[in-house]
Amino acid sequence: MSKLRALHRCQTCGATQPRWAGRCPSCGEWGSLREELAPQHGAGAVAGGGALFGAGGTGAAATSALALADVDPDGRPPMPTGLAEVDRVLAGGLLPGSATLLGGEPGTGKSTLLLQVLASMASSGKRCLLVAAEEAAHQVRRRASRLGADVPGVLVVEATDLASVEAALADVVPDVAVVDSVQAIRDAEVASSAGSPAQVRACANGLVALAKGIGTAIVLMGHVTKDGALAGPRALEHLVDTVLSFEGDRYSALRALRSLKHRYGPTGETGLFEMGEAGLSGVADPSNLFLGDRRAGVPGSAVTVPVEGHRPLLVEVQALVGRTTQVPRRYVTGLDAGRVGFLVAVLDRWAGVPVGERDVYVSVAGGARACEPAADLAVCLALASCISEVPVPAGLVAIGEVGLSGEVRRVSAMAERLAEARRLGFSQALVPSQGLPAASAVLGARPATTLGVALALALGGGRRPLPGRAPAGEVHQGRSPATAHGRRDAPPRRPGARLRALPAPAPS
Ligand code: TYD
Ligand code: MG
């Protein structure tokens, strides 16, 4: 048994301090240091996050160094899980000897997902072990039967103490082990109760080091709270190779698996699932899913193409503008709320769309997200369409960042975004005039330098001016130098495409 020493760990950033302090010297958080016991250096402590492969312990005999050029880059290929959306996020699958942390709010479907992963890998001949620390084995079996996942190759062990889990791992030596959950395991050598930061860290340290030693890909499941605190597991992020987050709204069947850290591939990749009667199924065509319930021809709706990970998706931005009773409020779902506030100000100031003094509701339909600036143009378009009661043309997507001066700015991956829009049958794209790929001509790109021009291109050419706003004949074009510049590439006014006069904002 190793000797223990007291240290003080920040519950926010995970940094350790030899002495207690009211404020964490690393992250500046107040009152976040908690005392815990840790193995003393050189006393047989497990080196957390040490060697990626092979024995992770300390005090081992020196191993000989290799020339980097002599190292086989394909030494240990990933093991595909067989679930396409999971493999997309993991860049091919789980690497032997790797450690993965899967976090998510309780009830999102983490246990379901991992059981399906194990069943799929077992049916392709992998040795799979499920450590059931929260549910009894017969409950797991019942769930597996319902999911069609009661594959003979999946072994299950009911255990809540670290020594038993380690013994099972060492006995089975599985290719893949899932611990459901790491917060339900307890190390008898650590005084605090299961789920405390000290316990979670001690258990994860032991399990990760053992799994690396025997070449098992280990997946630790951890519950997080609504505000993102991983109640212990957050401090594990530096211990593991991959951190995944499983997210979903309890009122929607849509679930998203995101990679927040991945040592063996790109991060930020997203896999999408639908939770149904028979568990989780991958969403093969998310754009079709997100646009499935869309009613074209309704004011206040615009389609854009955010990039999730490396995959462009079509989503519908919906906006509603209401009378303000007191201070104007903003209700935002699926978008960056701060950014929507900024766009409201830009619309008001530079495009002559009087939304600033009204209640504004903006959401992305179907539980999807569009948190990148490329969605700016669609947010502005949806708001302008709502307030003018002129629908956005059904076959038009809007892609572009909007700047503080009302300019429309270039965004990355435009060719991929336009290709996805084309695949879904969209024929026009409202886009920045800069940074367009040559192929965009095929789609009917409508480049705009300013927001005012963009709105006029999408919503028509002749809106009656608001009192004290743009002079007669200028559509959605404010008073800025940027707008004046934009006027040069404004489209000719089209008769019959007049926007309705805007009602005056309610007195606040
Ligand atoms: P679970 O995997 O237990 O969530 P977690 O491990 O993240 O706490 O999933 C629980 C929810 O999933 C529960 O509300 C029921 C729902 N569910 C289905 O809708 N269909 C299914 O086939 C299964 C197994 C669960
Ligand atoms: Mg669970």
Over its length of 508 residues, how does the chain's per-residue pLDDT go in tens digits?
A: 445 667 777 776 677 777 778 887 877 777 777 777 665 544 433 333 333 333 344 445 556 788 888 777 777 789 999 999 999 999 999 999 999 999 998 899 999 999 999 999 999 999 999 999 999 999 999 999 999 888 888 999 999 999 999 999 999 999 999 999 999 999 998 888 888 888 888 999 999 999 999 999 999 999 887 665 555 556 788 889 999 999 987 778 889 999 988 888 888 888 999 999 889 999 988 888 888 888 888 999 999 999 988 889 999 999 999 988 888 999 999 999 999 999 999 999 999 999 999 999 999 998 888 999 999 999 999 999 999 999 999 999 999 999 999 999 999 999 999 999 998 999 999 999 988 887 666 668 889 999 999 999 999 854 433 333 333 333 333 333 333 333 333 333 333 333 333 333 344 3
What burial class does residue 231 get, using C-beta atoms within 10 Å of its C-beta: 0-12 exposed, 13-18 middle, 19+ buried? middle
- Of 382, 438, 385, 380, nearest in space to 409 by CA: 380
- Of 450, 403, 416, nearest in space to 431 by CA: 450
Residue type, 319: A
Find residue 178's DSSP bridge partners: 130, 219
Distance (Å) from CA 115 to ligand 2 centroid = 10
Distance (Å) from CA 344 to ligand 1 centroid = 39
Token digits for 274?
Answer: 């639908």
Distance (Å) from CA 216 to ligand 1 centroid = 26
Distance (Å) from CA 280 to ligand 1 centroid = 9
- Nearest-atom index, ligand 1, CA of 113: 2
* Confidence (pLDDT) at 224: 84
Q: Strand pairing of 217-223 and 242-248?
A: unpaired
Ligand closest in space to the Cα of 181: 2
Q: Measured between alpha carbons, how far is residue 3 from residues 237, 318, 399 in Å?
A: 25, 60, 59
- Residue 248 CB–ligand 1 contact under 6 Å: no
Dist CA 455 CA 438 (whole Å):
23
CA angle 176, 180, 182 (to 5 degrees): 100
- Nearest-atom index, ligand 1, CA of 112: 2
Q: Give the CATH number of domain 289-499; options: 3.40.1010.10, 3.90.79.10, 3.30.230.10, 3.40.50.2000.
A: 3.30.230.10
CA 278 to mean position of chain CA atoms: 24
- Residue 433 CB–ligand 1 contact under 6 Å: no
Which regions of 133-285 does DSSP assign to beta strands (E)?
Answer: 154-158, 176-180, 217-223, 242-248, 254-262, 270-276, 279-282
Interacting residues of 100 by C-beta distance below 8 A, sequence separation 6+: 90, 94, 217, 218, 219, 220, 240, 241, 242, 243, 244
Question: Is the distance from CB of 246 to CB of 103 less than 8 angstroms?
Answer: yes
Dist CA 378 CA 301 (whole Å):
8
- Residue 281 CB–ligand 1 contact under 6 Å: no
- Nearest-atom index, ligand 1, CA of 250: 14
Find residue 457's DSSP bridge partners: none
- Residue 473 CB–ligand 1 contact under 6 Å: no
CA 268 to mean position of chain CA atoms: 7
- What top-level class would CATH report for the domain 78-284? alpha beta
Dist CA 311 CA 305 (whole Å):
10
* Confidence (pLDDT) at 449: 95
Q: Which residue puts its alpha carbon closest to atom 14 of ligand 1?
A: 107
Sort residue 60 into left (φ over 0), alpha (ψ -120 to 50) or beta.
beta
- Pocket test of ligand 1: the residue of 101, 111, 112 to mutate, having most ligand atoms within 8 Å of its CB, is 112
Distance (Å) from CA 223 to ligand 2 centroid = 8
Token digits for 9?
Answer: 């760990």
Question: Is the distance from CB of 263 to CB of 257 less than 8 angstroms?
Answer: no
Q: At what angle do helices 451-459 and 337-350 cross, to 10 degrees?
A: 90
Return the number of other C-beta atoms located less than 10 Å from residue 93's C-beta. 22
Q: Strand pairing of 16-17 and 4-10?
A: antiparallel
Q: Model pTM?
A: 0.74
CA trace torsion 336, 342, 343, 344 (10° rounding)? 110
- Residue 245 CB–ligand 1 contact under 6 Å: no
Q: Which residue has the tokens 């109640």?
A: 231
